[in-house]
Structure 1
Amino acid sequence: MKKLIICFLSFAICGQILAQETKTFEAGQDKIKLKFMLNAEGRPIYSLYFAGKTIIEPSSLGMELVNDSSFNRQFEIIGTEKKLVDEQWNPIWGEVRSIKNKYEQLTVQLKQKNVPNRLMNLVFRVFEEGLGFRYEFPKQPGLKYFIVGNELTQFNLTGDHKAFWIPGDYDTNEYSYTTSALSRVDAWEVQKKATDIAVRVVPDQYAVQTPLMLKTANGLYINIHEAAQINYPAMQLHVNRQNFSLSAHLVPDALGNKAYLHAPFNTPWRTILAADNAKSILESKMILNLNEPSVITNTDWIKPMKYVGVWWEMQTGKASWSYADDPDQLSADGNLIPSGKHGANTQNVKRYIDFAAKNGIDGVLVEGWNTGWEDWFGNWKEEVFDFVTPYPDFDLQGISDYAKSKGVKMIMHNETSGSATNYERQLDTAFKLMNTYGYPAVKTGYVGKIIPRGEHHDGQWMVNHYERVAQKAAAHKIMVDVHEPNRPTGLHRTYPNWMASEAARGNEYNAFSDGNHPDHETILPFTRLMGGPMDYTPGIFKLKGYASYAPNRQVHTTLAKQLALYVTLYSPLQMAADLPENYEAKMDAFQFIKDVAIDWDDTKIIEAEPGDYLTIARKAKGTENWFIGAITDEQARVGTIALNFLKKGTKYMAKVYRDADDASWKNNPEAYKIEQYPVTSASVLKLKLAEGGGAAISIIAVQ
Structure 2
Amino acid sequence: MTEKKKLLVLCVALFCFIAVSAQQRMSVSSLDGKLRFSLKVTPESVSYDIDYRKQPLITNSLLGFSFDSGEFGRNLKAGKVQRKKIDETYKLIVGKTSSVRSRCNEMTVPMQERSDSGRLINLVVRAFDDGIAFRYEFPEQKAWDSYVMYDERTQFNLQGNPMALLMYLPGYVNTHEGVYSHVRYDKVARKRLIEMPATFEFDNGVAVAITEAAIRDYAGMYLVKEKGGLVGKLSPKLGQEKIKVETDSFPHRTPWRVISVADRVGGLLETNILTSLNEPCRIEDTSWIKPCRTTFTWWNGNVVPDSTFSPGNNFDTNKYYIDFAARNGLDAHGIYGYAETPWYYDDNFNFGWAGPNADVTKPIPCLNMPRIVEYARSKGVGIHLWVHWRPLYDKLEEAFALYEGWGVRGLMVDFMDRNDQEMIRIQEEILECAARHRLFIQFHGSSKPSGLVRTYPNEFTREGTLNYEVCKWDTLVNADHDIAIPFTRMLAGATDYHLGGFRALPRSEF
Aligned residue among 242, 245, 251 for 2:235: 251
Counterpart position of 1:307: 294
Q: CA deviation at 1:172?
A: 2.1
Counterpart position of 1:676: none
Q: CA deviation at 1:532?
A: 1.7
Matches within 5 A, 1:18-33: 20-21=20-21, 22-29=23-30, 30=32, 31-33=34-36
Distance 1:341 1:415 in 2: 25
Paired residues, number: 477
**Which amino acid letter does the alignment assign opposite residue 184 of structure 2?**
A
Counterpart position of 2:195: 209
Q: Secondary structure at the match of 2:359?
A: coil
Aligned residue among 245, 259, 263 for 1:276: 263
Q: CA deviation at 1:258?
A: 0.2
Q: CA deviation at 1:384?
A: 4.6
How well do the aligned residues superpose, as a CA RMSD in angstroms?
A: 2.2
Q: CA deviation at 1:431?
A: 0.9
Q: Secondary structure at the match of 2:400?
A: helix
Distance 2:285 2:252 in 1: 28
Q: CA deviation at 1:282?
A: 0.2
Question: Could you list the per-position Cα deviations for residues 413-467 of structure 1 after superposition, in whole angstroms to 9, with x for gaps in the alignment?
Answer: 2124xxx3x43221122112211211121111126xxxxxxxx711111111111
Distance 2:476 2:378 in 1: 39
Counterpart position of 1:114: 115
Counterpart position of 1:394: 367
**Which amino acid letter does the alignment assign opposite residue 62 of structure 2?**
S
Counterpart position of 1:425: 394
1:531 to 2:499 alignment: no
- TM-score w.r.t. the length of structure 2 is 0.88
Counterpart position of 1:442: 411
1:39 to 2:39 alignment: no
Question: Could you list the per-position Cα deviations for residues 169-214 of structure 1 after superposition, in whole angstroms to 9, with x for gaps in the alignment?
Answer: 3122111112222333348xxxxxxxxxxxxxxxxx4220111111
Distance 1:294 1:300 in 2: 13
Maintained 8 Å contact 1:370/1:385: no
Give the direction of change, closer, same or farther, for the CA distance of 1:379–1:307 in structure 2 (3 Å limit): closer
Distance 1:48 1:291 in 2: 22
**Which amino acid letter does the alignment assign opposite residue 246 of structure 1?**
L
Distance 1:238 1:211 in 2: 13
Counterpart position of 2:508: 552
Counterpart position of 1:285: 272
**Which amino acid letter does the alignment assign opposite residue 307 of structure 1?**
T
Q: CA deviation at 1:472?
A: 1.2
Maintained 8 Å contact 1:309/1:352: no
Counterpart position of 1:182: 185
Question: Could you list the per-position Cα deviations for residues 239-292 of structure 1 after superposition, in whole angstroms to 9, with x for gaps in the alignment?
Answer: 13x52x110101101232000023211100000011111221000000110011
Distance 1:60 1:374 in 2: 50
Counterpart position of 1:450: none
Aligned residue among 314, 321, 329 for 1:360: 329
Q: Secondary structure at the match of 2:441?
A: strand
Distance 1:343 1:180 in 2: 46
**Which amino acid letter does the alignment assign opposite residue 111 of structure 1?**
Q
Distance 1:371 1:381 in 2: 11
Give the direction of change, closer, same or farther, for the CA distance of 1:514–1:266 in structure 2 (3 Å limit): same
1:493 to 2:478 alignment: no
Q: CA deviation at 1:385?
A: 2.3
Give the direction of change, closer, same or farther, for the CA distance of 1:289–1:498 in structure 2 (3 Å limit): same
**Which amino acid letter does the alignment assign opposite residue 215 of structure 2?**
Q
Maintained 8 Å contact 1:443/1:481: yes
Maintained 8 Å contact 2:195/2:223: yes
Aligned residue among 449, 453, 469 for 2:430: 469
Maintained 8 Å contact 2:348/2:355: no
Distance 2:502 2:476 in 1: 15
Q: CA deviation at 1:318?
A: 6.0
Q: Secondary structure at the match of 1:393?
A: helix
Matches within 5 A, 1:126-145: 126-145=127-146
Q: CA deviation at 1:514?
A: 2.5
Percent identity, please: 29
Structure 2: give runs of 5+ residues left out of the alignment. 1-15
**Which amino acid letter does the alignment assign opposite residue 262 of structure 2?**
A
1:221 to 2:223 alignment: no
Aligned residue among 340, 343, 346 for 1:370: 343
Maintained 8 Å contact 2:41/2:47: yes
**Which amino acid letter does the alignment assign opposite residue 408 of structure 1?**
V
Counterpart position of 1:87: 88
**Which amino acid letter does the alignment assign opposite residue 509 of structure 2?**
R
Q: Secondary structure at the match of 2:257?
A: strand
Q: CA deviation at 1:305?
A: 1.2
Counterpart position of 1:407: 380
- TM-score w.r.t. the length of structure 1 is 0.65
Structure 1: give runs of 5+ residues left out of the alignment. 1-15, 188-204, 320-339, 448-455, 546-550, 555-703
Q: CA deviation at 1:363?
A: 1.3
**Which amino acid letter does the alignment assign opposite residue 367 of structure 1?**
Y
Maintained 8 Å contact 2:352/2:415: no
**Which amino acid letter does the alignment assign opposite residue 200 of structure 2?**
L
Counterpart position of 1:65: 67
**Which amino acid letter does the alignment assign opposite residue 478 of structure 1?**
L
Maintained 8 Å contact 2:347/2:356: no
Maintained 8 Å contact 1:20/1:39: no
**Which amino acid letter does the alignment assign opposite residue 215 of structure 1?**
E
**Which amino acid letter does the alignment assign opposite residue 183 of structure 2?**
S
Between stretches 391-400 and 530-539, larger displacement belongs to 391-400
Q: CA deviation at 1:159?
A: 2.3
Counterpart position of 1:53: 55
Maintained 8 Å contact 2:351/2:388: no
**Which amino acid letter does the alignment assign opposite residue 233 of structure 1?**
A
Between stretches 285-294 and 402-411, larger displacement belongs to 402-411
Distance 2:371 2:351 in 1: 33
**Which amino acid letter does the alignment assign opposite residue 516 of structure 1?**
V
Maintained 8 Å contact 1:376/1:384: no
List 4+ stretches of structure 1 deviating above 4 A: 378-382
1:173 to 2:176 alignment: yes
Q: Secondary structure at the match of 1:124?
A: strand
**Which amino acid letter does the alignment assign opposite residue 104 of structure 2?**
Y
Matches within 5 A, 1:576-615: none
**Which amino acid letter does the alignment assign opposite residue 83 of structure 2?**
K
Give the direction of change, closer, same or farther, for the CA distance of 1:392–1:552 in structure 2 (3 Å limit): farther
Aligned residue among 485, 502, 509 for 1:541: 502
RCO higher in structure (CA 8 A, sep ≥6): 2
Q: CA deviation at 1:359?
A: 1.7
Distance 2:363 2:357 in 1: 13
Counterpart position of 1:596: none
Q: CA deviation at 1:400?
A: 1.5
Counterpart position of 1:102: 103
Q: Secondary structure at the match of 2:373?
A: helix
Maintained 8 Å contact 2:82/2:107: yes
Q: Secondary structure at the match of 1:164?
A: strand
Q: CA deviation at 1:389?
A: 2.2
Q: CA deviation at 1:493?
A: 0.7
Distance 2:330 2:490 in 1: 24
Distance 1:481 1:394 in 2: 23
